[in-house]
Amino acid sequence: MLTIIANASVLDHQGNLEKKHILLQDGVIKSLVDAQVKLSDIQDGASDIIDAEGKLITPGFIDMHVHLREPGFEHKETIESGSRSAAKGGFTTIACMPNTRPVTDHPDVIKLILEKANQAGIVKVLPYAAITKNELGRELTDFAALKEAGAIGFTDDGVGVQNAQMMKDAMKIAAGLQMPVIAHCEDDSLVVGACVAEGEFAKKHGLKGIPNESEAIHVGRDILLAEATGVHYHVCHVSTEQSVRLIRQAKSIGIHVTAEVCPHHLVLSEEDIPGLDANWKMNPPLRSKRDVEACIEGLLDGTLDIIVTDHAPHSAEEKAKGMELAPFGIVGFETAFPLLYTKFVETGLWDLSFLVQRMTADPAKVFGLNSGLLEAGRPADLTMIDLDAEKSVDPEQFLSKGHNTPFAGWNLKGWPVKTWVDGKLVWSE
């Protein structure tokens, strides 16, 4: 079956916009044809022709850090609802974290997630497996069996692995299997009872703060362990100046380390938190402006490789418990691109191609995925974006079960309007 997306604006290899007809067949991109070619010359056999005049077509976004909550927390999100939310946000591939119940520490849980994702049939769901059983940091999981079941990497995201020997052993095994270790970096001894960053907001409201060094200590430790073991070490949701500095130095001497950053750590600091609203509570927390600037600089110079959402839905009742008692996390699928486009591209700080690359080709490269590029032979995972569309963020319109966002009411431009996965239209506004 041949589908033609006609008159689409696409980014060329130099980041310039050019107009193309995109031909999709059997789940892959068949070809890109100059839009000056008449449709009548290429449409023979086409079952569907979609006019993309005035719209940008990019490779589907790839989010390598999400929480789908199933199994165990279906009141927050399910694999299906999370997948629909991802598709609405323009994502075609998402990688889900293992802090479910049961924890994704057994091949049967990996198989369950893949089966649920297949039943939903919306976006591609790639499961991570836990490093330690129940994410308790006491006993390693069976890495080989988890890889065989379909895990794409190992992480105890949600908590840090506290024991250095445990982490080193994990890295050795993962390196032998040619699999990455993805680390939530947090020293528990420094964060007991803390709910926001250590800074002026914490002082003002009498809250215990999470210090920068709680993250950076683990980043530094794990970089040394990665050097010793040769594993691909990937740092989750970098949020501090110190972490950026350590990762930059590690890369400069050839250690195989990659890293990610979240939109909220690029556009918000602790100074933006309006009060004790737990929709502004996430982990890592919103930090100082200096940390925000360091993360932006790190993303621009390649120290931080990719953008992820850390999509973390919670119920309204859970978030209503207040800043100290509510769980950490905010949703991110449905605001990520328009947020970054509005704040960085519309203002002239970033090129459009840079933003797209950090959300498509770069995550594919870091994790060895056969997607993220708009070229013949690649999977027909595509996102159509209306760069002129402007509207305010309305959490009631989210397809995610979670409405926990600090961006409610923000006026943003550049909204995804259609998403294809393997040539199948999975979201259309």
Q: Does the annotation place 157 within a ligand binding site?
A: yes
Question: In 3-state terms, what secondary structure has residue 249?
Answer: helix
Residue 69 annotated in ligand binding? yes
311 is in an annotated binding site: no
CB 223, CB 248: distance < 8 Å = no
DSSP bridge pairs for 46: 2
Other C-beta atoms lying within 10 Å of the C-beta of residue 398: 22
Gap between the terminal Cα atoms of the chain? 23
Distances (CA, A) of 134 to 79, 98, 141, 177: 20, 9, 9, 21
> Residue 117, SS3?
helix
Q: Which 3 state secondary structure label does DSSP give 166?
A: helix
CB atoms within 10 A of CB 363: 26
Is 17 annotated to bind a ligand? Reply is no
CA distance 217 to 220: 5
- Are 392 and 342 spatial neighbours (Cβ–Cβ below 8 Å)? no
Q: How many C-beta atoms surround the C-beta of residue 270 within 10 A?
A: 22
What is the C-alpha separation between 113 and 116, in angstroms, rounded? 5
Consult the annotation and say whether 314 binds a ligand.
yes
Residue type for position 256: H
- DSSP 8-state code for residue 402: -
In Å, how far are 89, 262, 336, 368 from 12, measured between CA atoms?
23, 26, 23, 22
Q: Could you tell me if 351 and 392 are in contact, meaning their C-beta atoms sit under 8 angstroms apart?
A: no
Q: CA nearest 218: which of 194, 239, 197, 193? A: 239
Contact present, 390 and 380 (Cβ < 8 Å): no
Active site residues: 310
- 């297949």: which residue's tokens? 118
* 310 marked as part of a ligand binding site: yes
68 is an annotated ligand-binding site residue: yes
DSSP-derived secondary structure for 349-377: SS-HHHHHHHHTHHHHHHHT-S-S--STT
Local structure of 221: helix, strand or coil: helix
Q: Is 283 annotated as a binding residue?
A: yes
Supply 101's token pair: 């119940």
Asked whether residue 63 is marked as a ligand-binding residue, the answer is no
What pairs with residue 28 in β-bridges? Answer: 25, 379
Binding site listing for Zn(2+): 65, 67, 157, 184, 237, 310
Binding site listing for substrate: 67-69, 99, 283, 314, 328-329
Binding site listing: 65, 67-69, 99, 157, 184, 237, 283, 310, 314, 328-329
